[in-house]
């Protein structure tokens, strides 16, 4: 064979078939590698979500357990000494004390579609169940401001460590956060606000909400007065921006993405979904909380009930107010003492003024977001 023929043979290029085959093989290899990385990312996302959900469940379980082990109740039902003389308590104008434990269907969601209705659990606690390092920025803001005599007014003398009335309540995912951003106690988040608007549209159109968040929230002194005087729980959007800001300042989300959940109280060998208790003799044997997340994670917790005997924080605050009117401090000493009632015109107020439920004003109505 000649030298020129060997040279032409050695420099022969790939044929079209060979080039096509090489491209196909390379594409298959790239698709396989891409699929492996995609599967790894997907698994990482799934495990990350499961870990986050498990962490939230652990926080929720710990918070509820702490709350139900630190109930503050009365030793016995009160007996009015005038009753023995035949005097009618209602006619005498005495205000009935608000129960220390209230489990009820949340009246805000009375018209929610379907058989399941969100519940709320209101309790008087001897100490907050939330550790300071678990608090959100909003809760930290509330506690810092409550140290000033001219700022927040919780239904206790010290929202960070004293007795207080509080509530476990459900809200659609993202709804409360959007309101808190609007009133300036959370950082802006446009993407989260858009998700909330989609959830709000579903709720307004009569469709079921895709997910719920369980919140724990301390109840302000003036809100406690409003509830004790016959007011119903308020929507997050009710009232002015200042009233909303102070009412939601201490709210802390515990677990989100809830599909269904329910509270059950066991009293006299009977399961109860609606319940009230004021005194020690009315306490249940134990309570149960059951929930299902949209990720199909399921949990059911049974909690023991423990308590201490003591006054309602609302009554303690009213005693302080009476001492202030008499020129005494909270310990009964003469001086320039002040009670916790921010509606007292003799003292600068930073609390939320909740009106009498019979008055027609913005706090008695349900606002729009």
pLDDT digits 0-9 by tens, 69-103 = 999 998 875 555 444 444 444 445 567 889 999 99
User: Looking at the predicted structure, is the pLDDT value of residue 146 above 60?
Assistant: no
SS3 of 56, please? helix
Q: Read off the pTM.
A: 0.71
Instruction: Give phi and psi for 214, each to the nearest 5.
Output: -90, 125
Task: Let me know: does 357 contact 364? Beta carbons within 8 Å.
Answer: yes
Q: What percent of the chain has pLDDT over 70?
A: 65
pLDDT at 86: 43
d(Cα 184, Cα 188) in Å, to the nearest integer? 8
Task: Let me know: does 203 contact 195? Beta carbons within 8 Å.
Answer: no
Expressed in percent and rounded to 5, the helix, strand and coil fractions of the chain are 40, 20, 40
Summarised one tens digit per residue, pLDDT across range 251-285 is: 899 999 999 999 999 988 889 999 999 998 889 98
On the 0-12 / 13-18 / 19+ scale of CB atoms within 10 A, 354 is: buried
Contacts 24+ apart (CB under 8 A), 185-193: 185/137, 185/138, 185/141, 185/245, 185/248, 185/249, 186/137, 186/138, 187/137
- DSSP annotation of 69 reads T
């Amino acid at each position: 064979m000649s030298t020129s023929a060997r040279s032409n043979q050695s420099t022969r290029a790939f044929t079209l078939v060979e080039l096509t085959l090489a491209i196909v093989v390379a594409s298959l290899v790239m698709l396989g590698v891409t699929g492996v990385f995609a599967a790894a990312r997907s698994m990482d996302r799934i495990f990350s979500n499961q870990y986050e959900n498990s962490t939230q469940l652990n926080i929720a379980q710990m918070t509820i357990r702490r709350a139900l082990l630190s109930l503050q109740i009365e030793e016995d039902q009160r007996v009015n000494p005038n009753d023995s003389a035949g005097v009618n308590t209602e006619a005498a104008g005495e205000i009935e004390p608000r129960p220390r434990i209230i489990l009820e269907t949340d009246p805000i969601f009375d018209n929610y579609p379907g058989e399941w209705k969100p519940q709320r659990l209101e309790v008087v606690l001897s100490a907050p169940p939330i550790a300071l390092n678990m608090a959100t920025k909003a809760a930290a803001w509330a506690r810092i401001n409550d140290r000033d005599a001219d700022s927040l007014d919780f239904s206790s003398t010290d929202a960070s460590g004293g007795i207080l009335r509080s509530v476990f309540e459900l809200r659609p995912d993202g709804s409360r956060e959007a309101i808190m951003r609007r009133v300036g106690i959370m950082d802006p988040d446009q993407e989260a606000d858009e998700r909330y608007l989609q959830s709000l549209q579903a709720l307004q159109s009569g469709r079921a909400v895709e997910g719920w968040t369980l919140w724990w929230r301390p109840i302000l002194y003036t809100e406690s007065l409003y509830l004790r005087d016959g007011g119903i729980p308020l929507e997050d959007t009710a009232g002015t921006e200042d009233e909303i800001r102070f009412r939601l300042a201490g709210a802390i989300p515990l677990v989100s993405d809830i599909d269904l959940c329910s509270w059950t109280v066991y009293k006299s060998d009977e399961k109860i979904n609606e319940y009230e208790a004021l005194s020690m003799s009315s306490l249940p044997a134990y309570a149960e909380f059951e929930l299902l997340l949209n990720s199909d994670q399921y949990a059911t917790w049974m909690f023991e009930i423990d308590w201490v005997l003591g006054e309602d924080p609302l009554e303690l605050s009213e005693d302080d107010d009476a001492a202030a009117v008499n020129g005494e401090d909270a310990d009964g000493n003469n001086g320039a003492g002040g009670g916790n009632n921010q509606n007292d015109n003799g003292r600068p107020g930073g609390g939320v003024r909740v009106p009498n439920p019979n008055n027609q004003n913005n706090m008695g109505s349900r606002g729009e977001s």
